[in-house]
A and B are shown apart, each in its own frame.
Chain A
Amino acid sequence: MGALISFIAVIILTLLAYGGVKSANMQAIFGIVLPYAAIMTFLIGVSYRVIKWAKSPVPYRITTTCGQQKTLPWIKQNKIENPSDAMGVTVRMILEVLLFRSLFRNTRSELQDGKLLHGSSKWLWLGGIAFHAAFFTVLFRHLRLFTEPMLLPLHLVETLDGFMQIGAPRLLMSGVVLLGAAMFLLLRRFLIPQVRYISLPADYFPLFLIIGIAVTGIMMRYVTKTDIVSVKELTMGLISLKPKIHQGVGAIFYIHLFLVSVLFAYFPFSKLVHMTGVFLSPTRNLANNGREVRHINPWNYKVKARTYEEYEDEFREKMKSANIPVEKE
């Protein structure tokens, strides 16, 4: 159900861009207005979300500890999985953000003849990291359309990305991996009953959208071709704030650009904000040193708790008869 809704939504978006450009000549809308609107929504939206989270304090030091704590000097602390200082936290966060450390721990539990077996399971990690790394590489490669003169590392990335030298234009692996990994992530939502059960339209939609983006991108490069020089003239026009529509850019480009615009605009309203959220996760970005350094809760308040005086008043006679010292005889 959720998948179907999302799939149809992406198809409609594609047709909208195609129709808009082909029959209504709305190149200026799809090539200039919407990309600007999308990037503004993205920048403001994401910043707004982060600020909104940040306005809620972190009242307690609730690190999830995944290794030996700092303790007696002869017991080896796991300084990364159970950090006690900023250095450890930094390394932990780097591993988490770049290498998906927690997901790497993933296990799979199976019940066989009344016995539970918990084996290592790296597929989700592999799919996830392939997807994100490929996405990042593809995004980075696109800087060739947004920088003039080109950034130096771009050539290096592209050479590495296309090192198999298949075809011309050279086959870039990142695009293929991106599409493959997105398909994998989609398929596991279809095929694993538990994952299918928890999946919402909001889980399928970005996947279909990204698959749409990858497919149109790959088609443009290898199949239907578009004039890349005109495309760059358009993109450079955009970033220099002197946008101009160039003839000779095919509809497929506008579809691609429109889907990307939708992704950017959708980003701050969706689960995709996990990109920034992960940095703020209190179970990961805090040192486990609650007994060493006092963590301050800005809304901490005094509570009315039972005092010893009240306690002794209730139990004084019983305490005295049991020879337990009391304050007031």
Chain B
Amino acid sequence: MYDRGKVIAGIIIFLALVTFPFFYKTGKANVQIEPKINTPVIEGLSEKKCVESKEFMRANHMQLLNEWRDAAVRDGQRTYVASDGKSYAISLQNTCMNCHSNKKEFCDTCHSYTGVKPYCWDCHIAPMEAKR
């Protein structure tokens, strides 16, 4: 007894499962992902710089935000001294979102692309964005 049918079906299921992403992609595969930083507040800045360097922020913003949360909520520490010596108020709403008021085009671009669902907005109220 060979059970040929069952074996072939099994192989097809195996191949289909493993190669599924090759068939699933829908056109968007090679889009360039670039979060937008063209808010009015940023446009008005003389020096377009976040609290730390762009590279650092790209990779580590989540950790920084986590530290800020702990500092502000648990230790009552509300001032952040950046690596270049400048001080910033520790506040998601008033510091971060002041510049990056475009959550949809800034935060969500990468987050939804990479499947990240931050729980910032479990507590914070997401900014109401004016339709552009």
**A interface list, Cβ under 8 A from B:** 39, 42-43, 46-47, 50-51, 54-55, 57-59, 143-151, 154-155, 158-159, 165, 167-170, 225-229, 232-233, 236-237, 239-242, 244, 248, 276, 279-280, 295-298
Contact = CB atoms under 8 A, between A and B. Distances in A.
B121 interface: no
Contact of A237 (B28, B29, B55, B63): B29
Contacts, number: 108
The residue among B11, B29, B58 with the most chain A CB atoms within 10 A of its own CB is B29
B3 A158 contact: no
A168 B63 contact: yes
A144 B110 contact: no
Contact of B59 (A146, A158, A170, A226): A226
A267 B18 CA distance: 14
Nearest to A285: B3
The residue among B3, B66, B114, B119 with the most chain A CB atoms within 10 A of its own CB is B114
B20 to A, nearest CB: 8
Contact of B1 (A145, A237, A241, A295): A295
B110 A149 contact: no
A54 B60 contact: no
Given A169-B62, A279-B10, A57 B115 contact: no
B59 A240 contact: no
Contact of A168 (B10, B19, B24, B66): B66
Given A168-B62, A242-B29, 12 more contacts: A143-B21, A145-B114, A158-B115, A165-B119, A169-B63, A170-B119, A226-B59, A227-B59, A229-B110, A233-B30, A237-B29, A248-B55
B53 interface: no
Interface of B: 1-4, 7, 10-11, 14-15, 18-19, 21-22, 24-26, 28-30, 32-33, 55, 58-60, 62-63, 65-66, 110, 112-119
Contacts of A239: 21-22, 25, 29
Contacts of B10: 50, 276, 279
A85 to B, nearest CB: 15
A54 B2 contact: yes
Given A147-B21, A239-B21, A276-B14, A228 B1 contact: no
A148 B1 contact: no
Nearest to A232: B114
Contacts of A159: 117
The residue among A59, A150, A240 with the most chain B CB atoms within 10 A of its own CB is A240
Contacts of B113: 148, 229, 232
A46 B117 CA distance: 36
Contacts of A57: 1-2
Contacts of A298: 1-2
B66 A147 contact: no
Contact of B11 (A50, A151, A169, A225): A50
Given A51-B11, A168-B63, A169-B116, A146 B18 contact: no
A239 B20 CA distance: 10
Contacts of A47: 11, 14-15
Contact of A227 (B7, B58, B112, B117): B58
Given A50-B11, A54-B4, A145-B114, A167 B29 contact: no
B15 A43 contact: yes
Contact of A240 (B30, B55, B65): B30
Contacts of B58: 227, 229
